[in-house]
Each structure stands twice: as structure tokens, then as C-alpha cells.
Amino acid sequence: MKHILFMAWKHLRFYKFRSAILVMGLTMTIALPIASHLIISKYGASLRSRSNATPYVLGARGNRFDLVLKSLYFGDADLDAIYMEDVNQLERSKWGTAIPLHLGHTAKDVPIVGAPGDYFAFRKLSASQGSVKLDLGDVVLGSVAAEQLKLKVGDRILSDRKSLYDIAGTNPVNLQVIGILKPSGSADDRVLFTSLETTWLLDGLMHGHPDPEHSSPDAHGKGVAYHEVTPENRSAFHLHAYPAEIPVTAAIITPKDQKGATILEARYENSDTLQLQKCSSIIEEILAMVVQIQTFFDTYYVFVLIATILFIGLIVVLSAQLRRTELETMRHIGASRAFAIGLQATELVMIVAIASILSIAVTLIGIQIVGQYFHLT
């Protein structure tokens, strides 16, 4: 057996190009279906974990998938606003509590999430540095966002303009970092948290008097002012809107009990302007569609596997024909027919073994890369 292994390995090394083609073909054939199943499984577990921890979301009538996904993961979906009065009405009903979220702003392209302090307790988030007690003009960084932006407590970051053609004339806000969150393995790691009042300042609904020194020259040499909230001028900022006009993107709703959940669902079912969505139900709908797509790809992989096996079989047959002289020589020097067959079988087993090991490595690396890219946490 030792001699067969030695000769098989030498033969594979001599025909490097052919061996490499066989190994890579088998590696991808094995790795792709395994990796896709594991990634979808991890994706599903990630979605279910966060949705199960978030009972309902309240938002404006529209695409229910966009509402839930943006409320959970702070994505790019463009949602119509609801208003603080809608949130206050729900809380006055006593059937549930609400945590409003105001989204849509960024700083250096990192999403800004406006939320009350209750959000940190709801998500069980705490600071690794500094504090999470937000005041006007303060910002708390998720752990990944802090690393990405290379910021620490005490630094400042300027919010982005929503548009170069901002007809409202709202200025960016120079936010002060007061805390960095402990890693949570969730979407909260990748965003910046401010108070709701700060996002209303970003909207232009709050006004103050920025220091003339807080400006930088633009391309035309003019000063581009930005707001900077300090302990000295914080009291000078005031809100120019009635509660019915103060926007929020959505609100996380926790019903008082099952009866409260039923009443709230019925109340908003026929609303013309608002929708209340159960997060876990929406996520299960999304995952059901993903499973359907996975089933299609599973069928496709079966045909790929069959084609690969036929391809390898063809190579083995052609190889045997090309090696006829070599095998005849081996028989003349005393090798049995069983030795020759064992030699070819050993070569094939080696190729399958190498491809299997590589497919495991490719799968693990692929899951890691895809998990980081799509934030499967």
C-alpha cells in the first residue's frame, strides 16, 4: 500500500495541470452547496434572533418588508414619516409601550439612529467607554462604527448633508462622541446613536445660533456653517414644530400582554396612514422566499454534480487509454493487474480527499467573508 500511495502521489505531481483542474472542479462542486446552506442557515438565525426580540414596529403605510428591515437593521429603504403624536396616542392607550426611531441621516456615510435612552435598555446595550446618556448634540458609537471611523470618546464628527441641493438650508451638526458601545454582535454595532432631538436638529426643526468660528471655506471661499452644541449654547436651541408635525421613521412597539397585542393589531389593521407589523411574521415570510430560492439552487447543484462526475469519469477513461503503455510496462516488471487498478483508484481517492479538504477551507472562508459583508449577526 505504501508503494501505491507513493507512486500515485508522484503521478499527480507530475501531471500538475490536470490534477489541479480535477481538484478545483471538485472543490467548487462540493463547497458551493454546503456554503450556501450554511450561509442561509446563519442568515436565518440572525434574522430570527433580532426579530424575535422586537415584537412589533409601527410605521407609515407602505412596503411592510422595508419597514421591518429598516427598523431592525437601519438600511437604505426610503420610508414615509410618522409623527410623535401617533406614538403618543399609542402610549396613551396603555396597551403597549413605544420606542420611536428617527432614521435617514448619516455621518461619513455611517447611519445615524435617533432614539430615546430606553432603546439601550431594550437592546441590552451598554458602554465600553464613556456613557450612553445622550443629550442634544451628543453621539454614541457602535463598536464597529468606532473602529471604522477611528474615533474615541471626546472626539467630534460632522454629520453629512442629505443633499448637495438641500433647499431647506439645514446645516450639518458637529456631534461630540460621549460613548462607545460594547460589541453586541448585531446591527447596533455599525451605527451612530443620537437623541431624537439631535435628529430633529439635523432635520432643521430645531434652531440655535452657531458660533461664526464654526465654519470652513467652500470652493468659492464662503463659510459653510455647521451647528455645534456645547453646554454653553445648548439652552439656545429650540424646537419649531407641534407634536403632530415632529417626524419619526418608526417605533418599536411592545404590547402590554396578548390582549394588548390583539387590540393594537385590530386598531391599525384598517388605518389609512399607519401600519403595525409583527417582526417575526415578516421575517418568516422573507425566509420562506429564501428557502424557495435555495430549493431551486439545490436542484441546479444536483445537475452540476452529475456533470462533474461525468467529466471526471471521462478524464479517468482517457487517462487510462493514454497510460496503456505505462501500465503494460508495469505488468512486464511484475506488477499485478490489481496493483494497476489500485494505483488509479488511489489517485482518484487522493484527488477527492484534497478537494474535500479544500472545500471545507473555502466554505469557512466564504462564510466569514459573506457574513461580514452582509452583517449576518
Give yes or no: residues 26 and 174 share one domain: no
Number of domains forming the structure of the chain: 2
Q: Can you tell me the mean pLDDT for 237-249?
A: 82
Q: Is 212 inside any structural domain?
A: yes
Q: Can you tell me the mean pLDDT for 67-71?
A: 94
3 or 20, greater pLDDT: 20
Q: Can you tell me the mean pLDDT for 55-60?
A: 95
Q: Is 230 inside any structural domain?
A: yes
Domain finish residue from 201, 218, 248: 248
Q: Is 264 inside any structural domain?
A: no
Give yes or no: residues 42 and 125 share one domain: no
| pLDDT for residue 195 | 94
Which grid coordinates belong to 223?
Answer: 463659510
Give yes or no: residues 242 and 346 share one domain: no
Task: Confirm if 152 and 134 have CB atoms less than 8 A apart.
Answer: no
Q: Is 160 inside any structural domain?
A: yes
Q: Is 65 inside any structural domain?
A: no
Beta-ladder partners of 174: 158
Q: Is 39 inside any structural domain?
A: yes
pLDDT at 376 over 70: no
pLDDT bin (cut points 50, 70, 90) of residue 222 is very low
pLDDT at 291 over 90: no
Q: Can you tell me the mean pLDDT for 119-145?
A: 94
Give yes or no: residues 135 and 225 share one domain: yes
Give yes or no: residues 91 and 217 share one domain: yes
pLDDT at 19 over 60: yes
197 or 214, greater pLDDT: 197
Give yes or no: residues 157 and 216 share one domain: yes
Domain finish residue from 248, 278, 295: 248
pLDDT at 216 over 60: no
| pLDDT for residue 227 | 74
39-53, 66-80, 250-264, 315-329: which has the minimum mean pLDDT?
315-329
Q: Is 18 inside any structural domain?
A: yes
Q: Can you tell me the mean pLDDT for 116-120?
A: 94
Domain finish residue from 248, 266, 300: 248
355 or 215, greater pLDDT: 355
Give yes or no: residues 156 and 213 share one domain: yes
Give yes or no: residues 43 and 86 share one domain: no
Give yes or no: residues 191 and 99 share one domain: yes
Residues near 8 by beta carbon (within 8 Å), at least 6 away in sequence? 343, 346, 347, 350
Give yes or no: residues 241 and 131 share one domain: yes
Which structural domain range is residue 86 located in?
A: 82-248
Q: Is 26 inside any structural domain?
A: yes
Give yes or no: residues 206 and 313 share one domain: no
Give yes or no: residues 131 and 214 share one domain: yes
For the chain, the average pLDDT equals: 83
The whole-angstrom separation of Cα 54 and Cα 170 is 33
Q: Can you tell me the mean pLDDT for 107-122?
A: 94
pLDDT bin (cut points 50, 70, 90) of residue 170 is low
Q: Can you tell me the mean pLDDT for 243-257?
A: 90
Rg (the chain; Cα; Å): 30
Output the pTM of the full model: 0.76
pLDDT bin (cut points 50, 70, 90) of residue 158 is very high
- By C-alpha distance, which of 99, 93, 122, 96 is closest to 258? 96
